C-alpha cells in the first residue's frame, strides 16, 4: 500500500495552493538536490508539504510562525496525533448530528478562548473551529480572542484521520519554531532556500481581515522583512517571497516596486475567496519576488 501524501490539514485564508505552480517555477533547486528549506511564516503549509513531497534528499526543514495556537497544532500533530484523532472524531460525530449547530460552535469557541485546556484539547478546538467557522478564517482581537463566526457547513470533515497520520509522518523531519521570523536565520546551512509568506499588505483600508495574531504586521514590519531578505541575499541564500500586489488596485502605489527594486518582481494571478459575497471574489494579481 503506497504511503498517503501529506497535504495541508487546515483551511487557510491566503493559502498558497493556487500559487504552487508559480512558486515551483521559481524554486531554485531540482528534485534530487540536497537542500535546507526554511519557512518563517508557515500558515497552513501548502508550500511546506509540496517541498516535503517533492524533495527526497532534503536535509533540514525548519518552519516558524508567530501564531502560538497554529504552532502548537503542528507540534501536537507531530508528537501526539494518536491522542488528537479520537477527540476530533467524537466532536465531528456530535456536530454532524445537530440540526442547530450554533450553540455547540460558540461553546467550543468560548472554551478555546479561555486557553485553559491541555495542549491536545486546545489543538482539537483549533482544528474544529477552523473546519466549522466562516471560510476557514483565523482572526483574533487585541485580547487574542478568536472571533470568527460560525460557517454554514452541514457535515464538514473535521477529522481527516488518514491525512493527519500522513502529516504526522511528514513532520518527523521538521524543526518547529514559534517566534519572530528573524530567528530562522540561525538555521542557514549550505544550499538553503527560504519561502516567505508574511501577512499581506492590505490592498485597501477595508480589505484587511484584521489580525492574524495579536501582533500587527504593518509597513514597518514589511520594511524589516525586506532588510531580512537583504541579509539572506548577502549570505548567498536563495529566497522567494509572496505578497499582495498593491499596484493592481492603485497603479501609483510603488511600495513593493521601490522596496524590492534590486530583485525579481513577478505578478501572478490569484483568486482570493475571503469575501462573503461570491460575486466579489475577484481575480487579482499577487507579487512573487525572488533574489
DSSP letters, 83-133, are: HHHHHHHHHHHHHHH-SS-HHHHHHHHHHHHHT-S-HHHHHHHHHHHHHHB
Segment 183-205 mean pLDDT = 93
Say yes or no: 56 and 89 in one domain. Answer: no
Last residue of a domain, one of 162, 195, 214: 162
In this predicted structure, what is the pLDDT of residue 122?
Answer: 98
- C-alpha cell of 26? 521559481
Say yes or no: 204 and 146 in one domain. Answer: no
Where in the sequence is the domain holding 265, given as residue range(s)?
17-66+183-290
* Residue 10 maps to a domain: no
What DSSP element (H or E) covers 41? none
- C-alpha cell of 55? 524533495
Whether 288 shows a pLDDT value over 70: the answer reads yes
Segment 13-30 mean pLDDT = 89
Last residue of a domain, one of 108, 133, 162: 162
The percent of residues in the chain predicted with pLDDT above 90, rounded, is 80
Say yes or no: 89 and 129 in one domain. Answer: yes
Last residue of a domain, one of 162, 192, 224: 162
In this predicted structure, what is the pLDDT of residue 110?
Answer: 98
The percent of residues in the chain predicted with pLDDT above 70, rounded, is 91
* Residue 117 maps to a domain: yes
Say yes or no: 147 and 201 in one domain. Answer: no
How far is the C-alpha of 23 from the C-alpha of 46, rounded, in Å?
11
Whether 66 shows a pLDDT value over 50: the answer reads yes
How far is the C-alpha of 67 from the C-alpha of 130, rounded, in Å?
14
Residue 34: give its domain's CATH number: 3.40.50.150
DSSP string, 273-290: ---SSGGG--EEEEEEEE
Segment 206-224 mean pLDDT = 74
Between 1 and 71, whose confidence is greater? Answer: 71
* Residue 2 maps to a domain: no
In this predicted structure, what is the pLDDT of residue 275?
Answer: 55
Amino acid at each position: 500500500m503506497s504511503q498517503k501524501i501529506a497535504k495541508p490539514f487546515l483551511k487557510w485564508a491566503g493559502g498558497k495552493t493556487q500559487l504552487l505552480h508559480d512558486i515551483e517555477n521559481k524554486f531554485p533547486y531540482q528534485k534530487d538536490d540536497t537542500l535546507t528549506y526554511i519557512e518563517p511564516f508557515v500558515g497552513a503549509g501548502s508550500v511546506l508539504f509540496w517541498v516535503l513531497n517533492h524533495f527526497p534528499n532534503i536535509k533540514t526543514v525548519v518552519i516558524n510562525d508567530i501564531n502560538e495556537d497554529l504552532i502548537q497544532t503542528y507540534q501536537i500533530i507531530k508528537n501526539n496525533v494518536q491522542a488528537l484523532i479520537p477527540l476530533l472524531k467524537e466532536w465531528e460525530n456530535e456536530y454532524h448530528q445537530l440540526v442547530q449547530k450554533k450553540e455547540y460552535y460558540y461553546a467550543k469557541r468560548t472554551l478555546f478562548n479561555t486557553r485553559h485546556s491541555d495542549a491536545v484539547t486546545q489543538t482539537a478546538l483549533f482544528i474544529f473551529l477552523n473546519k466549522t467557522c466562516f471560510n476557514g478564517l483565523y482572526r483574533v482581537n487585541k485580547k487574542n480572542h478568536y472571533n470568527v463566526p460560525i460557517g454554514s457547513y452541514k457535515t464538514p470533515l473535521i477529522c481527516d484521520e488518514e491525512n493527519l497520520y500522513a502529516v504526522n509522518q511528514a513532520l518527523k523531519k521538521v524543526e518547529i519554531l514559534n517566534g519572530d521570523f528573524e530567528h530562522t536565520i540561525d538555521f542557514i546551512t549550505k544550499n538553503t532556500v527560504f519561502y516567505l509568506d508574511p501577512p499581506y499588505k492590505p490592498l485597501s483600508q477595508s480589505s484587511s481581515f484584521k489580525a492574524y495574531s495579536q501582533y500587527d504586521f504593518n509597513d514597518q514590519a514589511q520594511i524589516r522583512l525586506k532588510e531580512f531578505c537583504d541579509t539572506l541575499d548577502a549570505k548567498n541564500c536563495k529566497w522567494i517571497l509572496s505578497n499582495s500586489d498593491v499596484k493592481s488596485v492603485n497603479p501609483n502605489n510603488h511600495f513593493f516596486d521601490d522596496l524590492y527594486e534590486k530583485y525579481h518582481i513577478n505578478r501572478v494571478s490569484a483568486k482570493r475567496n475571503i469575501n462573503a459575497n461570491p460575486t466579489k471574489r475577484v481575480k487579482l494579481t499577487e507579487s512573487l519576488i525572488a533574489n
